[in-house]
Chains A and B, each alone.
Chain A
Amino acid sequence: MEWEIVIGLEIHVQLSTQSKLFSGASTRFGAAPNTQACAVDLAMPGTLPVPNEEAFRYAVMFGLAMNAEIGKRSVFERKNYFYPDLPKGYQTTQLEQPIVGAGEVEIHLEDGSSKRVRLHHAHLEEDAGKSLHEDFHGMSGIDLNRAGTPLIEIVSEPDMRSAAEAVAYLKKIHSVVTYLGISDGDMSQGSLRCDANVSVRLKGEEKLGTRTELKNINSFRFVERAIKVEAERQIDILEDGGCIVQETRLYDADKNETRSMRSKEVANDYRYFPCPDLLPVVITDNYIEELRELLPELPDAKAERFQSEYRLSAYDADQLTQERTSADYFEEVCKSCEEPKLAANWITGELAALLNRQEISIQDSPVSAQQLGGLIVRIKDNTISSKLAKQVFEAMADGEGSADEVIEKRGLKQVSDTGAIEQIVESVIAASGAQVDNYRKADESKRPKMMGYFVGQIMKASKGQANPQIINKILKEKLDALL
């Protein structure tokens, strides 16, 4: 039997507004517990919410970036449930009339193909606080700093058919919100959180299978692994003749398994109703058009431009534009070296490896775009070989200055002086009698391969600085002269 996996994602994005969705308290991450919660956030009696215009601006920008309908009249509702980190006993959210309606986005897969994923809607809502269950000797601590922080919840249609597609979609959302500057998108701090609805069905079947909702999948890697393992679990059950229970399941990364959290059968009735403390928010066409003007170049448009302007491959362009910061870095490098292909190779190769190793992002790169550009200029004008360039790069990463400074200090300038190289070639040939004999006796077709030994010796003798093309040329002449 061939199975098809069906995935829809609900992504919560924390908006990087200065203050909360309905109060003036700061949204800064990492402050001491309960120091960024005002009377409104604490749901003190008699306090009232006042909507934050900036949050609406961000939500509308997101909607425009997703080619979505903008809710001209959006209404906040109360979602009622009791939990200690939900001070009012209800969450103020949107249901029937969200700020962002249906939309669509293109995702790019590693095999070079692309696909459209539909957006069901995105709505504004307030975040809850945090319950801390450790360190309180059997009791729980409540930190309300996060309570009231604005979120947009982005709900996709069940359009994804593999874990890889889900990750590509998540990355796309991540790149859109960070391009727009409406969120820092930091998954490790919970600025971007993801739940996945996963079901399976036989290929060709139209009806959707019973879904489970996966929680605690807050990294790209966990999303991929959790969906895979959950789909396998569901397929195993169905193949054994069992049924899938609609429920929420928690992903355990250590064991790489999902386990039941709570069954939707006993799910809360949230008793949504329009919040009487807040009036419907009306968005005018003017407001929308003003924001449309302010939208930055978005990843897809940028990738297209990179292909046409810099003649990059679709793959390279896509790689470089996923993050606005790396796209900006790339363009900086290009400005100083005018070698887009080399720049792309270095950024996706050496630099990416370095950043990965040091676990830092490109904006904290120890090698600046100007430095990397300077290095590429020296590769291009044959001052150094590609091989030495790596050494220079490492030195720049260690803070030894610009490419020129490193080359100068370490004396790495490539030797292209024919006379000097000729001398080395001659001395190597003189010291390699046996190898020269073999070369002479060998069949013509095997000779080019045998040159490798000599090149290696010459490079060694020149401390890697001799220009390889010139070595090859002189060596061939000298050896052939001995035939």
Chain B
Amino acid sequence: MHQLTIAEMIRGLQSKAFSSVELTRHLLARIQQLDSNYNSFITVTEELALSQAETADQRLAKGEAPALCGVPIAHKDIICTNGIRTSCASKMLDNFIPPYDATLVENLNAAGTVTLGKTNMDEFAMGSSNESSFYGPVRNPWNTLCVPGGSSGGSAAAVAALLVPGATGTDTGGSIRQPAALTNTTGLKPTYGRVSRWGIVAYASSLDQAGPIARNAEDAAYLLSAMASHDPKDSTSLNRSQEDFTAGLNNSVAGLKIGVPKEYFGEGLNTETAARVLDALKEFEKLGAELVDISLPHTELAIPAYYVIAPAEASANLSRFDGVRYGHRCENPKDLRDLYMRSRGEGFGEEVQRRILVGTYALSAGYYDAYYNKAQQVRRLIKQDFVQAFEKVDVIMGPTTPSPAFELGAKGTDPVAMYLEDIFTIATNLAGLPGMSIPCGLVSNLPVGLQITGNYLGESHMLNVAHQYQQVTDWHQASAV
């Protein structure tokens, strides 16, 4: 049963071939049995899952259940779930139980999904390897010596290990697409504002977006259809009514213009990774698509701009974790300063502290113009690159990451080497565009991801393109387990 895709589960549940309770019990048992190999879950919500599954079965019995009703999923542990610990994989929030659901959780609950648990991640979504979690690193089901990517590494690994058919993630600089690429899953970061940020613990507010990780584009489309909504509680939420992203999946891609940026195939890209991506592009040509050489000239500035803007926003976003109202508080503070310093010093891990310091520095008097303002200017240039490119092409494709999964600890001492993992994904966030990663081959039995970047609000089109590729290839069906 764990091999079923979401689409297959929907058919099974709606036709009563099996019940949600049966499916849920099966996956819970599997998590119980196997997750010690991967550490992809921080919290497993067995009781909640079974009660939601029972409710789903009742709705299904009445014959009026929405598509996702009874489908088990998991949520990244940065997404608030009412009454369930939401830790952000940090000691700081090890004891934090939110009294509210994130809007996207509310939406999925309303659609009838069953929550199996909360997945592991890089602390406060800061990282690309899932090694910065307070609850220990996540291991890649394709090779448990390797990282699954990050920061949504737990969600990606859980999907790859067939513990759950789909999961939510968040993507600030590549945190859905990069782990999807490294685990052979399909991950989608929507247009900024498409999915409400209410209830997602903020890392970098102008970049954060939640999206689905699943085994194929069709499943991702099902999840996104339920997650996305206009939300008056999020001022940056786009005023778009809910959309059925599965509706256009079967459209033809003949005549599709695919932009191939020369900057994405330069130095630093693993040659075998490049070969798999080029193979995928050829596959699209066979489907009738046209490849167009394009240039995104400011690509190399994306990482430096991101590592000013994201830490700057984070430095303010994480100020609320002060030991006063919730979260970690140090023992016996001797005064206010001591309370702040020790609570934050003990509660935050090394990478989080590093980014708070970088961000604080970038915003400081005398440095603001040189760093923060300059980074914002670069951000506008990067956005302009894409706007110009989309005048000529429908989607942009390239590698999701420079190379396949690396071993745990391989980049531990060099934060900049780690930051370069997101070299192809970060620009999408800076521009606010939607992006996906889909499986397109293996290198030494490790997955390679093809990145598809769409135009603003082009999720439906992007999913259609990915689905058509997955109709003629079977890389997405390759399994780690």
**Residues of A in contact with B (beta carbons under 8 Å apart):** 39, 42-51, 78, 80, 82, 84, 87-90, 142, 269, 271-273, 276-279
Known: A269-B364, A273-B372. A43 touches B325 (CB 8 A): yes
- Nearest neighbor of A39 in chain B, beta-carbon distance: B100
Asked whether, in the complex, the Cβ of B235 is within 8 Å of the Cβ of A87, the reply is: no
- Contact present for A87 and B198 (CB under 8 Å): no
**Does B354 lie at the interface of the complex (its beta carbon under 8 Å from any beta carbon of A)?**
no
Closest B residue to A131 by CB, please name it: B336
Residue of B nearest to A90 (CB): B316
A-B contact pairs, 16 of them (CB 8 A): A44-B326, A45-B93, A45-B96, A45-B321, A45-B326, A46-B200, A46-B201, A80-B316, A80-B319, A84-B336, A90-B319, A271-B363, A273-B372, A276-B206, A277-B235, A279-B235
Decide if A87 touches B320 in the complex (CB within 8 Å): yes
Query: Which of these, A45, A80, A87, contacts B201 with CB under 8 Å?
Result: A45
Give A84 to B363 CA distance when docked, in angstroms. 22
Tell me the bound Cα distance from A90 to B146 in angstroms.
40
Beyond A142-B324, A269-B364, A276-B206, 6 additional contacts (C-beta under 8 Å) are A39-B100, A46-B198, A84-B336, A271-B316, A278-B236, A279-B235
User: In B305-326, which residues have CB < 8 Å from any A CB?
Assistant: 312-313, 315-316, 319-322, 324-326
Cβ of B340 < 8 Å from any Cβ of A?
Answer: yes
Known: A45-B86, A48-B198. A89 touches B235 (CB 8 A): no
Q: Is the CB of A46 within 8 A of B80?
A: yes
Interface flag for B283 (CB, 8 Å): no
**Inter-chain contacts of B233 with A (CB < 8 A):** 48, 50
Minimum CB–CB distance for A270 against chain B, Å: 9
Residue of B nearest to A42 (CB): B325
- Is B232 engaged at the interface, CB distance under 8 Å to the other chain? yes
Q: Quick check: is B17 within 8 A (CB to CB) of the other chain?
A: no
Find the residue from B201, B206, B233 having the highest chain A CB count within 10 A: B233
CB of B308 to closest CB in A, whole Å: 11
- The answer to whether A89 touches B336, judged by C-beta atoms less than 8 angstroms apart, is no
Beta-carbon contacts of B97-118 to A below 8 Å, as 1s and 0s?
0111010000000000000000
A33 smallest CB distance to B (angstroms): 13
Q: CB within 8 Å of A: which of B337-362? A: 340, 360
Q: A39-B99, A273-B312 given as contacts; is B320 within 8 A of A88 (CB)?
A: yes
**What are the 4 A-B residue pairs with the smallest beta carbon separation, nearest first?**
A89-B319, A276-B206, A276-B205, A271-B363
Q: Which residues of B contact A278 (CB under 8 A)?
A: 235-236
Q: Distance (Å) between the CB of B237 and the closest chain A CB?
A: 9
> Within the complex, what minimum Cβ distance (angstroms) separates A128 from chain B?
13
What chain B residues lie within 8 Å of A46 (beta carbons)? 79-80, 86, 98, 100, 102, 198-202
| B267 CB, min distance to chain A CBs, angstroms | 33
Q: Which residues from A are CB-within-8-Å of B324?
A: 84, 87, 142
Measured in the bound complex, the distance between the Cα atoms of B200 and A50 in whole Å is: 15
Contact B336 A78 (CB under 8 A): no
User: B residues touching A (Cβ–Cβ < 8 Å)?
Assistant: 79-80, 86, 88, 93, 96, 98-100, 102, 197-202, 204-206, 232-236, 312-313, 315-316, 319-322, 324-326, 336, 340, 360, 363-365, 368, 372
Instruction: Report whether B86 and A271 are in contact in the complex, using a CB–CB cutoff of 8 Å.
Output: no
Q: How far is the CA of A89 from the CA of B102 in the complex (A)?
A: 22
In the assembled complex, the CB of A50 is this many whole angstroms from the nearest CB of chain B, namely 6
Determine the residue in chain A with the shortest Cβ distance to B99. Answer: A39
Instruction: Tell me, rounded to whole Å, the shortest Cβ–Cβ distance linking B360 to chain A.
Output: 7
Least Cβ distance of B96 to chain A in Å? 7
Q: Choose among B96, B205, B322, B326 the residue that contacts A277 (Cβ–Cβ < 8 A).
A: B205
- Chain A residues, Cβ within 8 Å of B99: 39, 44
Question: Which residue from A48, A49, A271 sits with its C-beta under 8 Å from B360?
Answer: A271
Q: In the complex, how many angstroms separate the beta carbon of B91 from the nearest chain A beta carbon?
A: 14
A106 vs B86: C-alpha distance when bound (angstroms): 56
Find chain A residues with CB under 8 A from B205 CB: 276-277
* C-alpha gap A142/B339 in the complex (Å): 15
B320–A89 CB distance below 8 A:
yes
Q: Which secondary structure dominates chain B's binding surface?
A: loop
The chain B residue with its CB closest to the CB of A83 is B336
Give A200 to B204 CA distance when docked, in angstroms. 46
C-alpha gap A343/B235 in the complex (Å): 53
Residues on A with C-beta less than 8 A from B315 are 80, 271
Residue in A42, A44, A51 whose CB lies within 8 Å of B235? A51
Cα distance A279–B315 in the bound complex, in angstroms: 20
Q: How far is the CB of B197 from chain A (nearest CB, A)?
A: 6
Shortest C-beta distance, A85 to chain B (Å), equals 9
Residues of A within 8 A of B363 (CB): 80, 271-273
Q: How far is the CA of A267 from the CA of B260 in the complex (A)?
A: 51
Q: Does B235 lie within 8 Å of A82, measured CB to CB? A: no
A-side contacts of B100, CB under 8 Å: 39, 44, 46
Q: How far is the CA of A142 from the CA of B322 in the complex (A)?
A: 14
Q: Is the CB of B202 within 8 A of A87?
A: no
Give the chain A neighbours of B234 by CB distance below 8 A. Answer: 48, 50
Inside 8 A of A49's CB, which chain B residues have their CB?
235
Given the complex, which residues of A lie within 8 Å of B235, measured CB to CB? 48-51, 277-279
A43: B residues at CB distance < 8 A: 320, 325
Roughly how many angstroms separate A88 CA and B313 CA in the complex, as a whole number? 13
A129 → B minimal CB distance (Å): 11
Residues from chain B with Cβ under 8 Å of A39 in the complex: 99-100
B313 touches A276 (CB 8 A): yes
Taking CB atoms, residues of chain A closer than 8 Å to B321 are 45
- In this complex, the member of A48, A78, A90 whose beta carbon has the largest number of chain B beta carbons within 10 angstroms is A48
Q: How far is the CA of A300 from the CA of B123 in the complex (A)?
A: 60
CA distance A80 to B312 in the complex (A): 11
Most central of B80, B313, B316 by chain A CB within 10 Å: B316
The residue on A at minimum CB distance from B340 is A82
Inter-chain CA distance A142–B360, complex, in Å, is 26
Distance in angstroms from A79 CB to nearest chain B CB is 10
Contacting residues, chain B, for A87 (C-beta < 8 A): 320, 324-325
Chain A residues with Cβ below 8 Å from B325 are 42-44, 87
Contacts of B340 in A (CB 8 A): 82
- The reply to whether B80 and A82 contact each other, CB–CB distance below 8 Å, is no
- How far, in angstroms, from A21 to B286 measured CA to CA in the complex? 56
Q: From residue A16, how far is it (CB to closest CB) to chain B in Å? A: 23
> Whole-angstrom distance between the alpha carbons of A49 and B98 in the complex?
17
Within the assembled complex, what's the spacing in Å between the Cα atoms of A48 and B102? 11
Give Cα A45–Cα B364 distance, bound, in whole angstroms.
25
A48: contacting residue among B197, B204, B312, B368, CB under 8 A: B197
- Answer whether A89 and B316 are a contact pair too, CB < 8 Å, given A45-B86, A82-B322, A142-B324: yes
Closest to A50 in B: B235
Give the docked Cα–Cα distance between A88 and B321 (Å). Answer: 8
- Of A45, A47, A279, which one neighbours B236 at CB under 8 angstroms? A279
Are A50 and B232 in contact, with the CB atoms below 8 A?
Answer: yes
Among residues of A, the one whose C-beta sits closest to the C-beta of B92 is: A45
**Residues of A with C-beta under 8 A to B319:** 80, 82, 88-90
Q: Measured between C-beta atoms, what is the minimum distance from B101 to chain A in Å? A: 10
B240 CB, min distance to chain A CBs, angstroms: 15
A50 to B233, CA, bound (A): 6
CA distance A51 to B201 in the complex (A): 20
Report how far A115 CA is from B79 CA in the complex, Å: 57
Instruction: Count chain B CB atoms within 10 A of each CB in A44, A87, A142 and give the residue with the most.
Output: A44
Residues of A within 8 A of B206 (CB): 276
Shortest Cβ distance from B369 into chain A, in angstroms?
A: 12
**B372 and chain A: residue at smallest CB distance:** A273
Looking at B86, B201, B363, which has the most chain A CB atoms within 10 Å of its CB? B363
